[in-house]
Amino acid sequence: MVTKRTKRPGLALGILAALLLAAIILSFLLGRYPVPPKELVGILLQRIFPAIRPFWADTMETVVFNIRVPRILLACLVGCCLSAAGASYQGVFQNPMAAPDILGATSGAAFGAALAILLGAGSRLITLSAFVFSLLTVVLVYLISKVARGKRVLTLVLAGIMVASLFNAGVSYIKLVADPSDQLPAITYWLMGSLSGATKKDVAFVCAPMAIGLLPLFALRWRMNVLTLGDDEAHSIGVNAGRIRLIVMLCSTLVTAASVSVTGMIGWVGLVIPHLTRKLVGNDYRYLMPGSMLFGALFLLAVDDVSRNLLAVEIPIGILTAFIGAPFFLWLITRKGDTF
């Protein structure tokens, strides 16, 4: 079989970046409260040139800065992080099915959030609790895999599955005992995942952990290529596979925890987007990592636009990512002329 390797990864990255920019601009214009392009340009430019005299309503400026900006930023950041974490896990576990929840990060976050809601905490505390439990879960998984016998990668993944199911059971129990009039719907809504409550404070909260996590993931992308070969081969090439994997796991966990703590459970992005990006730019992480980051941001932003504009009632984005992601993925793997 002859396959062509005429992929132009640099060009694909450029197109993704351009599309993302276009989507960001479009996202400012879309919404229940209309903001016409002329006013949008004025509002944004006024921040740089205060001399511009406002020709728009105050409400419009509030909508742009307090609602649209945080929401767009958060959608891009979360999409970028989940996708980068998924691509990273796939590489360091040599497992194409790996996703950001492979080590239990999302189940831990769900438990933390549900527990906080049950105890009557406010939104800031719910976010914090989700974040902390997410990190704790992964630490627990790592420690279990340390004492478990057998292949390191396999024990990590198995421990991840088991601990995740434990926390899922915990979430189920909390839902059982939660007050069905207000707590249960709040938990259910959180679990579905949504960007609708995005605030400036949310963005501020996640910025630092996301930056701390994303930078090493980006910088280590060549090493991730080598790690896909397996530990023995990586070691003989001169890479300390265990150490690099640990760093990548830490960073991926950090960005996943930060993402789900503010948005709730958003599935599919971390699994589907890296694979779509592989189709576009190949498996070389030098292109795959930036590609996944851009594509993840673009995808989640676009889906969020649909979620807040399609129907009169906002559709939780977690549902939409699966609705759009799953069929698209199925189409992709059944398409002729391609192999995984």
Partner 1 sequence: MAHHEKGGHVLSIETSDLSFSYGTQAVLKHITFTARDGELLSVLGPNGVGKSTLFRCILGLLRGYTGRISVGGKDIRSLSASQMARLVAYIPQSHYPSFNFSVYNMVLMGTTGQFSALSGPGPKQKAQAAAALEKMGLAHLAEKDYTHISGGEQQLVLIARALVQNAQVLVLDEPTANLDYGNQLLVMRQIRALTADGYAVIQSTHNPEQAFLFSDHILAMKDGAVLADGAPSEIVTSDRMRALYGADIDVCSLYDDRLRVCVPKGIIQGK
Contact set with partner 1 (CB under 8 A): 1-3, 5, 90-91, 94-96, 216, 219-223, 225-226, 228-230, 232-233, 235-241, 244, 278, 282-284, 286
Q: Which is nearer to partner 1, 226 or 315 (CB)?
A: 226
Report the residue number, 224 or 300, with the smaller CB distance to partner 1: 224
* Region for 265 from its dihedrals, namely left if φ exceeds 0, alpha if ψ lies in -120 to 50, beta otherwise: beta
**What's the min distance (Å) between Cβ of 3 and partner 1?**
6
**Closer to partner 1 at the Cβ: 155 or 283?**
283
Best CA proximity match to 105, nearest among 320, 251, 203: 251
Residue 225 contacts residue 282 (beta carbons within 8 Å): no
Token pair, residue 81, equals 């992080």
**Alpha-carbon span 150 to 20, nearest angstrom:** 44
Residues 6+ apart with CB under 8 A from 44: 64
The tokens describing 278, both together, are 């592989």
CA 46, CA 246: separation in Å to the nearest integer? 46
CB of 211 to partner 1, least distance (A): 16
Q: Rounded to the nearest whole angstrom, what is the least distance from the CB of residue 312 to partner 1 in the complex?
A: 44
Cβ atoms of 319 and 192 closer than 8 Å: yes
Output the CA–CA distances (angstroms, integers) from residue 245 to 19, 221, 229, 263, 324, in the order listed. Answer: 32, 12, 13, 27, 31
Q: How far is the CB of 159 from partner 1 (least distance, A)?
A: 20
Q: Min. distance of Cβ 190 from partner 1 in angstroms?
A: 34
Cβ 102 to partner 1 shortest distance, Å? 14
197 versus 216: smaller Cβ distance to partner 1: 216
Kindly state the helix (H) or strand (E) to which residue 82 belongs, with its residue range. Answer: helix 69-92
Q: Which residue, 180 or 238, has its beta carbon nearer to partner 1?
A: 238
Give the nearer residue to partner 1 in terms of CB position, either 262 or 273: 273
| Euclidean distance between CA atoms 240 and 166, whole angstroms | 32
